[in-house]
Structure 1
């Protein structure tokens, strides 16, 4: 069955080879309704190969939106898709590899995803990618800032899975899990050698359900079973800390659905504590959703666009400051590094171009492109690079990133966080020294469980 489907797909792909770049997929695929579960294994003669409908959805979206228009060579795309299908057939874990194809839907899905991924590879853009339904759900949970699980960051740096840190007041914290605890099994199933994402998936689950972890504690000889009840976990992406009298630190680790609200609460806390100047720490922030980034930047930028979006046809669209946001006029320094990317670079560029802040630290990542996210008919997600960001001053953010105004320089600074001390020294110029807060004493708490952490269970 699947081999026949592949041959039918190649027949339509040959038609696509002669089509112009903006051509839609074959009409039969676009008009085909989704199958019910009972239909997916049926061979109904001349009916089109429904299981490949998702491929033609991707074909149509990519041709309509992809930023690098010259890369949309139909012949290369089809050849890449064929290579991807062949690779999926050669995968040793596939039932197709033994020469006896199965009629089951998962194998058809493997064939389709192989074709899609092979086609996308030819575009030469790692950010244009496919996520399976399972991967999509996990990614959505991460960027929403909420998940259902036990509330612990776990890691596996080339060794056993271990607890990095429990989240305060989470089931993990209440159960007594501590940094360094080794996780040997989840619900009796060993996790040694599994990818971290799979371990996380086993630990997460619906709230009010139980999960049992087999734990070996530091210096303990025998493992113990710990049963936890999963709960709704909120991962904070913004936190305020008073560094010294008059100077606050706002650490933003990602831009999620709750970031702007958290930033507002953090700024109000700092205001009550007497802050009159601010360090905005965007180091290690990989970005996230655009709307909360625009909202946060609008708290510091008085007017004008926050950023411009330019698509593959050269058309530009401004994203203006949100007029409903309160404006904070404190002196401001923004910390950046090579982990500052995407929406975080949008914020950093906006405040600098508005002459509201100086950037301190290291050059940023330079991920100045926009990915549109499409949910496909099988609940998988397609990320398509569809535009690039242009700063208010006209700087393309995808060309080497942002260069800081104040490069990181640890010479002559006795502090655990040299660039933070540099930023505070800049802001201190507006305040008299306070002998009770000696220079070099800065040690703000480090967030270990954040929305962009890989192993949040």
Structure 2
């Protein structure tokens, strides 16, 4: 199960979030600096010698900062631990932004379509982007006069972000019009969860948690209080594709669902238990959730998400529903060097309340429910037009998607049936009826598939079934 790709509807969510959130893990807040002791110099004599030799004798001029950065990265890479790494200034800033509860920018989420950044969804309410009139599918051709084509999504995002009060000029293409928009950057809150009542079950509140950032525990308490007022008598906590975040936040959140004294997580170094975290009013402020709860997980639920799910499963007997989780059982601390670069380093293992280390194994759900097979298919190509006569894996995926949408297509060949299905689809969705699948048609097909997956979310439906049965007992 862990070898499967990201479920398609979650791919859409992940793709959109990349402009705001990246990375994952369990992190301990740590502001201490890193220094090199003088007694280590003898051990590093070979490193110093190599550094001087490259500077003095290499046939071209060598940038000293490049050598130093390479040496630092090399030391962390030598540990063969993907979660221990040296972060340069830009990478450190990205990690900090990914765990923050706000950022400074314009409030638009982007994706890449045909190698151009495009507004992926409606701008954040009351954000500079909304006030400037940016709309979904607006293409950003230039940022402050610099062309964006060929840049990575992250490069474009970093150039648009900036300090509150500063200005950025975007060259926008909307349909057949091109124009400049000058936007004054502002502070944009990052909501780490979405809470709403179930459409069909008036007593079930659902909360989707995207990450464990600086304010997620507070957001969770506020969400539960709000849903209670709306009639919620039970809750579904959706942690699918949640990559993790701050340890302090997941401890506070898990504590809300446990009785004081119950174990949330244990910590181990050198195969010795060195500590544990237990539910208490010090963590949750006395706020408790005593209503029935179900937790949703999948192969993208990692680290802090796994701590939360394991704590509720093992200490509170809460049903965990979905597929086996990612399997990241380590804790990282972040230490600054003083020049805005950082060392992200693994400092502990974490174990479930029962003492299990799930690293590279994942947490097994109480009730296993998977996505339909088509949910794991890759997205349709955006840099190639699929047309009649073609035979490929992409065409097979297209035929599968169309079949899911009730069109009579199958196989890996773009035949007459595929062409007619595409024309019918384009007609019903107000697209130009070409019978070919270009980037625009591909995006609309994917959005319809996403809607279909949301309407037939078997994991969520199982959680509703479990809570409904429990309420009748």
Task: Give the Cα separation in 1 of the matches to 2:331 and 2:71.
Answer: 24
Matched, 1:236 2:276: no
Picking from 215, 234, 246, the partner of 2:203 is 246
The 8 Å contact of residues 300 and 356 in structure 1, kept in 2 or not, is answered as no
| Cα deviation digits, residues 102-144 of structure 1 (max 9, x gap) | 6xxxx32211110111222221111111111222123212211
Q: For residue 317 of structure 1, what is the aligned residue in structure 2?
A: 275
CA shift, 1:179, in A, is: 2.1
Q: For residue 40 of structure 1, what is the aligned residue in structure 2?
A: none
Picking from 99, 118, 122, the partner of 2:59 is 99
Instruction: Specify whether residues 373 and 96 from structure 1 end up closer, same or farther in structure 2 by C-alpha distance, changes over 3 A only.
Output: farther
CA shift, 1:197, in A, is: 1.7
Q: For residue 257 of structure 1, what is the aligned residue in structure 2?
A: 214
Picking from 186, 204, 215, the partner of 2:172 is 215
Picking from 255, 280, 291, the partner of 1:330 is 291
Q: For residue 170 of structure 1, what is the aligned residue in structure 2?
A: 127
The 8 Å contact of residues 266 and 277 in structure 2, kept in 1 or not, is answered as yes
Q: For residue 305 of structure 1, what is the aligned residue in structure 2?
A: 263
CA shift, 1:262, in A, is: 0.6
The 8 Å contact of residues 306 and 321 in structure 1, kept in 2 or not, is answered as yes
TM-score by length of 1: 0.71
Picking from 65, 69, 87, the partner of 1:131 is 87
Q: For residue 385 of structure 1, what is the aligned residue in structure 2?
A: 346
The 8 Å contact of residues 263 and 315 in structure 2, kept in 1 or not, is answered as no
| Cα deviation digits, residues 147-188 of structure 1 (max 9, x gap) | 000011112266211111222221112222222211111011
Q: For residue 291 of structure 1, what is the aligned residue in structure 2?
A: 248
Picking from 177, 181, 195, the partner of 1:226 is 181
Q: For residue 70 of structure 1, what is the aligned residue in structure 2?
A: none
Q: For residue 453 of structure 1, what is the aligned residue in structure 2?
A: none
CA shift, 1:99, in A, is: 3.2
Matched, 1:366 2:327: yes
**What secondary structure sits across from 1:261 in the alignment?**
helix
**What secondary structure sits across from 1:161 in the alignment?**
strand
CA shift, 1:29, in A, is: 7.1
Task: Give the Cα separation in 2 of the matches to 1:372 and 1:312.
Answer: 17
The 8 Å contact of residues 257 and 316 in structure 2, kept in 1 or not, is answered as no
Q: For residue 267 of structure 1, what is the aligned residue in structure 2?
A: 224
Matched, 1:428 2:388: no
Q: For residue 182 of structure 1, what is the aligned residue in structure 2?
A: 139
The 8 Å contact of residues 239 and 263 in structure 1, kept in 2 or not, is answered as no
**What secondary structure sits across from 1:223 in the alignment?**
strand
Q: For residue 12 of structure 1, what is the aligned residue in structure 2?
A: none
Task: Give the Cα separation in 2 of the matches to 1:96 and 1:223.
Answer: 52
Task: Give the Cα separation in 1 of the matches to 2:191 and 2:57.
Answer: 45
Q: Which consecutive residues of structure 1, in runs of 5 or more, have no partner in the other structure?
A: 1-23, 31-47, 49-55, 60-74, 90-94, 433-457
Matched, 1:375 2:336: yes
**What secondary structure sits across from 2:356 in the alignment?**
coil
TM-score by length of 2: 0.69
The 8 Å contact of residues 388 and 397 in structure 1, kept in 2 or not, is answered as no
Question: Higher relative contact order by CA 8 Å / sep ≥ 6: 1 or 2?
Answer: 2
**What secondary structure sits across from 1:330 in the alignment?**
coil
Instruction: Specify whether residues 135 and 96 from structure 1 end up closer, same or farther in structure 2 by C-alpha distance, changes over 3 A only.
Output: farther
The 8 Å contact of residues 298 and 325 in structure 1, kept in 2 or not, is answered as no
The 8 Å contact of residues 364 and 403 in structure 1, kept in 2 or not, is answered as yes
**What secondary structure sits across from 2:361 in the alignment?**
coil
Aligned length: 350
CA shift, 1:409, in A, is: 4.8
After the TM superposition, which parts of structure 1 deviate over 3 Å for at least 4 consecutive aligned residues? 95-100
| Cα deviation digits, residues 282-315 of structure 1 (max 9, x gap) | 1111000000110110110113221011123624
CA shift, 1:26, in A, is: 5.6
Q: For residue 452 of structure 1, what is the aligned residue in structure 2?
A: none
Task: Give the Cα separation in 2 of the matches to 1:181 and 1:420.
Answer: 33
